[in-house]
Structure 1
Amino acid sequence: LDQKPDLIIGPLFSHSITAIKTMAQEAGVNVIGFSSDHSVAGNGIFLMNFRMEEQIARVIRYASKNGYARYAALIPETAYGKRALEVFRQAVTDQDRDLAAVEFYPPDSTKLVNPVKNIAHYKERRRKYTREIDFLEKLGEEDDFAQEMLDELKSVETIGDVNFDAILLPEGGAMLTTLAAWVSYYEIDPTKVKILGTGLWDDEMLFVEPQLHGGWFAAPDHTKSHEFLTRYQDIYGQRSPRLTTLAYDAVALAATLVRQEKYPDFSAEQITNPNGFSGIEELFRFRKDGLIERGLAVYEVGAKAFTVIDPAPVSFVERDKPEIMLIKTPEVGQADYLEAASHPSSPADDDRPFPYNPVQKDAAYSPDQ
């Protein structure tokens, strides 16, 4: 701050943002950080991250429009889970749908059985199954119909459906795959129940998890980010941390603000431009409370790819020619930057690429960093 910066980019964790927040406010300098801890946002602190809240709202909205009406959720007993449940409840209410069941599970993969059994009503459905088996066996081997029914029941362990037609699993990584395995084991039928997730599902590991195939989740459009990440790996010989796209967009936003006016304007008014920006992670804008909003697509999980089943919006505003900041994607080896569609552009031969410094830690999706 002694060097009088116009904008600060890069505090990664909430404790780092908290440490500089008061000093930045006193100096009149806005901050773009990468923490997912929303409590540090506002008063000049803007958080560039992926918000689970809008991902849940988006996928519930889409599922509701497609006929799903009774919702359940398996929620981790964490601060992240508490936030997820609040948003989930509100999203279901906003769509005038029913919240059928919620079960909580501890952040321990060895303790998932009972929560899944409970939400699946497994004991009740198992009792119906055993009673039906006993009844059919008493009819004897001479009853062809009974024997046919018994043969059909050999492939299942329960009878009857659960009381919901969609279930949210706001989880990722190994915990998600373990949870999904138990969901399948306790016969929550994915042909009858749509499994929903968050941006934590944006992981190619799910391609080899058949119990999640057909599931839906919301995330930014992948087109530009995949191009960027592929280019990064080609250049540096290793996979990029997920956070690098956010860092790139933050720097690109700053470059855009420099290019828009004769004198750079990094004020909150400019940063919270309601028309938004479009970067590597596609459409986004900052709210006045410092939180980010994104234009999200809805994806379906497949065996080889994620398929867009509902595209991301191209604009936050309903107008014929929205004033969206569009990204110029240069050739491999050059830096990306944003340019304002609503302002005169610089001369065609003026690329002015800005330097990029890859971030080594990833806090983009971490619950409380």
Structure 2
Amino acid sequence: MAEAALKPQRGNGLFRTIALAGALALGACSSIIPRGAPETAPPPQQPTRPVETTEPQVSQGIPQDEQRHRVALLVPTSGNNAGVGQSIANATQMALLDTKSERVRITTYDTATGAADAARRAIADGNGLILGPLLSEDVRAVAPIAAAAHVPVLSFSNDTSVAGNGAFILGYTPAQSIERVVSFAAQNGMTQFAALVPSGLYGERASDALLRAVRRQNGDVVSIQTYDRSRASIDAAVKRIPETSPYQAILIADSAGTAAVAVPTIRATTGASAKVLGTELWNTDSAVADNKVLNGAWFASVPDGLYRQYAEKYRARFGKAPYRLSTIGYDVVLLTVRIARDWKVGQRFPMNDLMSDDGFAGLDGAFRFDNSGVAQRALEVQAIRNGQTVTVSVAPKSFE
């Protein structure tokens, strides 16, 4: 585990920079004989008993902090997902520095060696809140351990099935992004929708979300086709869309790279003029705008206005670009610091404060938790135009 109990340092950046002045001075006093004083013989030495010394008591574990709240960050810092885990950890450090918080102490625990063990260590060390983990299977392992200790879990997963019983989900969920982009398409006169979705759980959830979203807009889903992510399977899925079922928009519920494979076949068949729609996965792809075949496509995303400045500051501090998902780590620290103002040290985390109707604000815009523990996000719609992404429908600043 790695400590992130940070003392602010002076620096420049997007947010308020930190200047913390504090020094402890140790002075030594010496006795001085006044000039001109008569010399006297030193007094005879008296026998002394040896001074008994007591060895300091050292307790196991991390030293407890009586002034700050102990908060655990559970992310992979080794293994296949170490890159994104370390990027999230770096973001939490930046947030502590930028907020000048002296009420929160964050300790990082590596989930790659076992999420359940990491949670047990975190709770044994006295942490009253868990940030993370990243993967849904790790949330399933951590949540019951944390619940038994009355410690909330603010996970970075986007799997809504693991929310509840003290576990909250902060990840970008497909249902919300599909609802947002379908709503925008309907506002622009589109009523007939088709979809390509991958086989598996994500595709099933994307299909359900599309059906609900289109139904709300009084539109029709003319065809949903699945594929196994091979080029041949994607082409075959596109060609299975009936020629007798014209559509004005087609959702490709996958990465931007997969969408780029499908679009040429779409244009050559029944979707020559259809608007291509993407999901939240597109926003995690830094090269999304480089796919020329996606020019004109729309996708819903958390706001990007502050991300670019954050990325510049991150690169200056850590010498590399951040993972797009790392902003969740930054924003969850902003949330923690806000609640910590009224969270008394030594008491349980005030879980009810997470359910604020007003929600919270961060780099990724406004969000709040619904009754199931899933973060509802204020999303914008972006379009790909000539190698760039541009906002075509801004995100609301708050919740009504």
Is 1:101 the equivalent of 2:193?
A: no
Q: Which moved more, 1:203-212 or 1:218-227?
A: 203-212
Q: Secondary structure at the match of 1:218?
A: strand
Unaligned regions of 5+ residues in structure 2, if any?
1-122
Q: Is the 8 A contact 1:8 1:32 kept in 2?
A: yes
Distance, in Å, in 2 between the alignment partners of 1:297 and 1:265 is 36
Distance, in Å, in 1 between the alignment partners of 2:304 and 2:270 is 32
Q: Is the 8 A contact 2:134 2:157 kept in 1?
A: yes
Deviations 1:257-299 (A, max 9, x none): 1125666873221012111111011111112211111000111
| Length, aligned pairs only | 276
Distance, in Å, in 2 between the alignment partners of 1:79 and 1:183 is 24
Match in the other structure for 1:219: 301
Q: Secondary structure at the match of 1:279?
A: coil
Q: Is the 8 A contact 1:216 1:301 kept in 2?
A: yes
| Percent identity (aligned) | 30
Distance, in Å, in 1 between the alignment partners of 2:395 and 2:298 is 14
Pick closer, same or farther for the CA change 1:272–1:55 going to 2, 3 Å: same
Q: Is the 8 A contact 1:78 1:107 kept in 2?
A: no
Q: Which amino acid aligns with 1:3?
A: D
Is 1:29 the equivalent of 2:112?
A: no
Match in the other structure for 1:228: 310
Is 1:168 the equivalent of 2:251?
A: yes
Q: Secondary structure at the match of 1:24?
A: helix
Is 1:66 the equivalent of 2:159?
A: no
Distance, in Å, in 1 between the alignment partners of 2:169 and 2:344 is 27
Match in the other structure for 1:51: 173
TM-score (norm 2): 0.65
Match in the other structure for 2:263: 180
Q: Is the 8 A contact 1:258 1:265 kept in 2?
A: no
Deviation at 1:4, TM superposition (A): 3.0
Deviations 1:189-245 (A, max 9, x none): 2xx311111122223423232321111111111011221112112222211122211
Alignment equivalent of 1:249, drawn from 328, 331, 340: 331
Pick closer, same or farther for the CA change 1:15–1:114 going to 2, 3 Å: closer
Match in the other structure for 2:281: 200
Q: Is the 8 A contact 2:150 2:348 kept in 1?
A: no
Distance, in Å, in 1 between the alignment partners of 2:157 and 2:210 is 22
TM-score (norm 1): 0.70
Deviation at 1:109, TM superposition (A): 2.7
Q: Which moved more, 1:62-71 or 1:30-39?
A: 30-39
Q: RCO higher in 1 or 2 (8 Å CA, sep ≥ 6)?
A: 1
* RMSD, aligned α-carbons: 1.9
Which has the greater radius of gyration? Answer: 2
